[in-house]
Structure 1
Amino acid sequence: MNALLEVAGLEAGYGQSQVLFDLDLKVGAGETASLLGRNGMGKTTTVRAIMGLSPPFAGTVRFLGERIDGLPPDRVARMGLALVPEGRQIFPNLSVKENLVAFAANRCEAREPWTLDRVYAFFPRLAERAGNFGGRLSGGEQQMLAIGRALMTNPRLLILDEATEGLAPLVREEIWQCLAALRAAGQTTLVIDKYVERLIALCDRHTIIEKGRVVWNGTSAELDADHSVWHRYLGI
């Protein structure tokens, strides 16, 4: 596998509290991968360490073959990583259009870059609400806006933390369809979510962590074939 992102021996946490222990993770170019685990097991801490939001205690994070551990978040973002964070964190007092254009860039030098019109075509509801303030959108619309905002940077790697958390079933289905379309378009993506059945259909590979350590990794076929892994580590 030609790894776009390669995390090796990662140890990270907050202050004196260590959360991650010798964690390894790879995402290949063009892959859709998942990071799984129960609540509080270190998934968001892993994302924060990758994005430069929580500098690791030890280990390495490589992106496009270059070490990025220890770099500030803006440098990491400019290299082509984009995060759709847990809780969406859109700007509530900016309009939909302003939220999107504020992040416009072409960091991967795409031949068919994500533009405002392309994001509106991908999420027609955002086009309908282009002048609405972000804080006036529904939860599902805010998640669409958060994904659209990330896509406007034309990232090499898109990371979604709790991709469908708190969304109504019909809206959640829209997000899954969006992620499937991104996969078909060749977008490299790392998804954190709890809906294993949908992730098996969507993703190429999966990594499961428990108490900050990798306890399983493998393909969708392997995860689908061993439901004991679901029960043991995911409580399903």
Structure 2
Amino acid sequence: MADKHLLTCKNLHAGYGASQVLFGMDFTIDEGEVIGLLGRNGMGKSTTLKNIVGLLKPTQGEIWWEGKALNTMAPDAIARLGIAIVPEGRQCYPNLTVREHLVAFAGNRNGSANQWTLERIYDLFPRLAERSQHMGGQLSGGEQQMLAIGRALSTNPRLLILDEATEGLAPLIREEIWRCLDLLKQEGQTTLVVDKYVDKLVGLADRHIILERGKIVWTGSSAELDADRSLWVRYMGV
């Protein structure tokens, strides 16, 4: 399949056993775009992300990466293509140090000359430099989120996915994460973000996809979403 898009999901159906969650989703992501994936809890956002990274396989439909079918690929092979996820719950390793997290997964998957080295990640999150010898299990929730983002960036991904980017974080830490994402956008990082803070996402993302019961019910630009607050109330309870 020849495809000018970086990522294409076509007629995507998925679920868990007999429970179907996604119903015929169609969307694309282009190089350099920042996309917000929105909707209330339980509407299929995390299931969508799990299908993209290979942790869950579609029951119907196709996922393409620059024309390469991802459906049958294992998660590690998908990761090597340049897709990195900051998972919900962070999933830092309790018995690895901060530094070990950031060097164990390091790679050059985007071919950029401006690589995310250990030093650049420490510059982005000075707190990680201060805690470099601490174990993952010794960090606060905010520090773990910084570490999970740093770990993903250390692979120099072509597509960075964040599931609940600022969930459960203190306001100051949330602002730090939004600052980081804005910097990544300025550098041209292609990003797919799930987060409930719609007011922040409209200032960051180029486009948004809203899910309701496993279907795409709206898609459009940040300007369009900002102009129609009824969408916020109807589909996100904001």
TM-score (norm 1): 0.98
The Cα shift of 1:3 comes to 2.2
CA distance in 1, matches of 2:19, 2:155: 33
Count of residues in correspondence between the two structures: 236
1:111-150 aligned at under 5 Å gives the runs 111-150=113-152
1:28 and 2:69 are equivalent in the alignment: no
Q: In the aligned structure 2, how far is the partner of 1:25 from the partner of 1:137?
A: 36
Written as runs of structure 1 = structure 2, the 5 A alignment for 1:65-214 is 65-214=67-216
- The answer (yes or no) to whether the contact 1:56–1:70 under 8 Å persists in 2 is no
Other structure's SS at 2:64 match: strand
Q: Is the CA contact (8 Å cut-off) linking 1:9 and 1:22 kept in structure 2?
A: yes
Is structure 2 residue 50 aligned with structure 1 residue 55?
no
Deviations 1:72-125 (CA, angstroms, capped at 9, x unpaired): 101100000000000000101110000111101101122111111111111111
> CA RMSD of the aligned region, Å?
1.0
The alignment-based identity, stated in percent, is 61
Cα distance, 1:25 vs. partner?
Answer: 2.0
Runs of 4+ in 1 over 6 A off after TM superposition: none
Which amino acid in 2 is paired with 1:114? W
SS across alignment from 2:193: strand
How far 1:43 moved relative to its partner? 0.3
Q: Which amino acid aligns with 2:186?
A: A
SS of aligned partner of 1:12: strand
Contact 1:2–1:29 under 8 Å retained in 2: no
Return 5+ residue gaps in structure 2 as ranges: none
- One-letter amino acid of the counterpart of residue 217, structure 2: V
- Alignment partner, residue 64 of structure 1: 66
* Deviation (angstroms), 1:5: 1.2
Q: Unaligned regions of 5+ residues in structure 1, if any?
A: none
* SS of structure 1 residue aligned to 2:23: strand
AA partner of residue 153 (structure 2): L
